[in-house]
A and B are shown apart, each in its own frame.
Chain A
Amino acid sequence: MTWELFAVFLGSSLRLALPLLLAGTGELVSERAGVLNMSIEGMMLTGAFAAAVGAWATGSPLLGLLICIVAVFPVALLQAVLSNTLRANQIVTGIGINILVLGATTLAYREIFGARSREQIPGLPKWSPPLLGDIPIFGEAVFQQVWLLYAGLALIAVTALVLRYTSVGIVVHAAGAEPRAVDKSGVSVSWVRYLGVIFAGFMSALAGAFLSIGDIHTFTEGMTRGAGYLAIAAVIFGKWTVGGTVLACLLFGAATALQFQLPTLGIDVPNALLIMLPYLLALLAVGGLAGRQTAPRALGEPYFRR
């Protein structure tokens, strides 16, 4: 394996990991606050679709990005209302929303573009950080990425800081571990969880936008292909910490990148197995670790005052 190929591999891993990183961080916050958000997949797809259509309709990918953030809001709100106010089973809700979004985006896409179309959509421009981008061999392959990637990484870093050093972090932690403590201190558990879900929606929308207008510059039906579930697996693997989740997402991203990398090395592995790899890894990740010991205690349980 040459250095050039390795650089390309690193670059693709990062690129393929980013949607997971964003969605994973969003899901992390939501779960830390106590809401198991299975609808991440649907929210990503909403983001991907809205960004694509928005960019195509307005001609500006930036506007597409903004539109997708707005578009995901009702979906996140739906999940939040169902999970918190109506205290519905969070798994059922999530899957229901995913089915709904899959159907709705497919339907809408067909209506707007006709079946089987792969319309070209204006995409987000790339950017390269000043010094890093000039490193020989590695500079271009690894560091020249869509600017959204850097923005996303910055967002994740900020999230980690907020969780660790501010009162928001304390409240979010408490809402998922012991919601009664939050209630008795006068803060509304509902509010915290609503915000957690909406934040997850926001991050997922960005993740989806990256897929459609950052990476591939098109929209295909169901293009998230289970990435949302991989993000959920990453949170479990990462034991509900930002660092762990990031590592898991990078791992899954690298596994996905292998799909394109191994053939260039002349290694002949059936394509299907490579596509399967991230899911297999995710399964091993959630199956092999003491996830049940470290999950926030009140995860998945709606809170109401007795």
Chain B
Amino acid sequence: MRDPTRSLAEPLLSLRCVTKRFGSLVALANASLDLMPGEVHCILGENGAGKSTLCNLIFGVHTPDEGAMRFHGENYRPAGPSDALTSGIAMVHQHFSLVHDMTVVDNVILGQQRGFVNTRTWAQRLDRLANDYGLALDPYAKIDDLSVGERQRVEIVKCLIRQPRLFLLDEPTAVLLPEEIAALLDVCRRVAESGCAVVLVTHKLAEIKKAADRVTVLRGGRVVARSDHPADEIDALVRAMIQGDLKSLDKSAASALGVVEAGGDQVEKSAPTPQTPRQEAVQIDGLSVIDTQGVTRLDNFTLTIGPGEIVGVAGVEGNGQSELAAALSGMAAPSRGRVFLGNIETTHLSPKDITAAGIGVVPEDRHTVGCVVEMSVAENMFLNRLKDFTSFGFLRRKELVQAARELMRRFDVRAVSAEVAFSALSGGNQQKAVLAREITLPKLLFLLAAQPTRGLDVGAVAAVYGHIRSACQSGAAVLLISSELDELIAVADRIVVLYRGRIMGTCAADPSERERIGGMMAGQAQ
């Protein structure tokens, strides 16, 4: 528990009325807060609330348009990360910036030293630091060979080796196993105890309960609530965060916040329409994928999905999910195994034929795989169906735009018009557009959705779940890949767990199975 005398200390960093705009978007408005040394301060807010902007301002990636920051009582206006680093501020970002083909120790040395480099000395320093804070790390390992959790540890060590006075972590637990999350929160505690001010940005209430000394809540770019006793005030915090009650939320959307009420009812899940005999819609048999380096990324994946059924694939990112999705969507050739959609084999079909067969894919990387951001919304929504709007090679543009408008209306995709660039849409609307495109395939038999709600706000999340459910009510089989366990428990009928490319086990998507699933995610065979 926090030392009550600490409230008398001077804030290490304080923000006063800080505002930041990106073009017409106000990412942060009139934000003020104090960060005290020796505490774990959580910034709570859903996706899009301004948390990352706040961190980037502190770390010098951006400069505030209005307002001021004071560090140790002095004016603080970093022109870039190097100023922040010199002041003693270190940050672990959501997206790591590690040089993939260099070793851990070289990554740590980067920017820290001039002239000839004594790798051994640095490696020893690394070992000592890792021991002090309970982080297991091999200094000579190459980043390419590390898991996501291990890479995060490298990022943390990179920060801690500079002995920072302020330590920021932006949504660090999104990529971790349940047990790794506990370890991370422990590290945060230890760092705070050593006198550093720790700032933990999150949208998960469970973490607040466990680790926070103080909480600041952001919504729509503004500070809407604060708490010095967060564990006791969770309900008030939630209300402030989403401007509504947890209970009033769609149960599955609530899962996006990381808190699922125990004994959550299964009413929203569609019961599979009883069919006798039950014809499996999708049969995946022994699917294996080997990457370009010869490493087996997916090993003997076998699964059947019935029509109208939602099967969830749980597991921390990097355990074969991407390869599974790539193989099923025609983007990667499986080295072994077969996939059947009803009676048709789809194992080696090209993406074009996969789509024609009635398989819709919502890829996890919306920007790289899902859409062409430079083209218009209308063009993106029908890129895989241009044939329907082509006569003698010529594109019937008016018809295309008209159809796009209709689709946008149905799926609540908000944009100025169907002809603006796709990049002008918000993340949530982009995802809705991609969903719209895939779900409205002429005869959708199988929907593959990979991390479909990542980075979306609660409203968009609810909409996505709604569309997925309606697809399955129309008889489509759904495979939902997600690293958010709570999401799967809320939405899926049953869950298979991937670990290092293999299925560790299957179980019902029930909150009571959470621990068992968590164990499987960590590699404990069942």
Contacts and interface: CB of A to CB of B under 8 A. Distances in A.
Interface of A: 165-167, 170-171, 173-174, 177-178, 180-188, 293, 297, 305
Given A184-B81, A184-B93, A187-B82, A167 B99 contact: no
A184 B170 CA distance: 14
Contacts of A297: 100
Contact of B99 (A173, A186, A293): A173
Nearest to B85: A186
Contact of A170 (B97, B117, B158, B292): B117
A202 B352 CA distance: 50
Nearest to A290: B292
A155 B277 CA distance: 77
Given A166-B115, A182-B111, A174 B82 contact: no
B101 A177 contact: yes
Given A171-B111, A186-B82, A178 B61 contact: no
A135 to B, nearest CB: 36
A181 B98 CA distance: 6
Contact of A167 (B86, B101, B107, B115): B115
Contacts of A165: 116-117
Given A177-B100, A177-B102, A182 B81 contact: no
Given A165-B116, A166-B117, A170-B117, A187 B100 contact: no
**3 smallest beta-carbon distances between A and B, as pairs:** A185-B111, A186-B82, A180-B97
Contacts of B112: 185
B13 to A, nearest CB: 18
Main secondary structure of the interface of A (DSSP, over half): helix
B110 A170 contact: yes
Contacts of B93: 184
Contacts, number: 68
9 contacts: A170-B117, A173-B99, A174-B107, A177-B101, A183-B81, A185-B81, A185-B110, A185-B112, A187-B82
A174 B112 CA distance: 13
A171 B61 contact: no
B110 A182 contact: yes
A174 B99 contact: yes
B275 interface: no
Contact of A174 (B61, B80, B91, B102): B102
Contacts of A293: 292
Contact of A184 (B97, B100, B101): B97
A261 B32 CA distance: 78
A170 B103 CA distance: 10
B285 to A, nearest CB: 31
A173 B100 CA distance: 10
A185 B98 CA distance: 11
Contacts of B106: 170, 173
B278 interface: no
A186 B114 CA distance: 13
Contacts of B111: 171, 182, 185-187
A166 B116 contact: yes
B22 to A, nearest CB: 10
A166 B113 CA distance: 9
Contacts of A305: 61, 80
Contacts of B102: 170, 173-174, 177
Interface string B71-108: 00000000011100110000101000111111000110
B96 to A, nearest CB: 8
Contacts of A188: 82
Contacts of A183: 80-81, 97
Contacts of A185: 81, 85, 110-112, 158
Nearest to B119: A165
Given A177-B102, A186-B82, 13 more contacts: A167-B109, A167-B116, A170-B102, A174-B110, A181-B97, A181-B98, A183-B80, A183-B81, A184-B93, A185-B111, A185-B158, A186-B111, A187-B111
B279 to A, nearest CB: 43
A234 to B, nearest CB: 21
A112 B454 CA distance: 67
B117 to A, nearest CB: 5
Nearest to A176: B99
Contacts of B113: 167
Interface string B325-368: 00000000000000000000000000000000000000000000
A76 B99 CA distance: 27
Interface in B91-148: 91, 93, 97-102, 106-107, 109-117
A167 B113 CA distance: 6
A178 B116 contact: no
Contacts of A174: 99, 102, 107, 110
Nearest to B116: A166
Interface in B278-295: 292
A188 B114 CA distance: 14
A186 B81 contact: yes
A150 B101 CA distance: 33
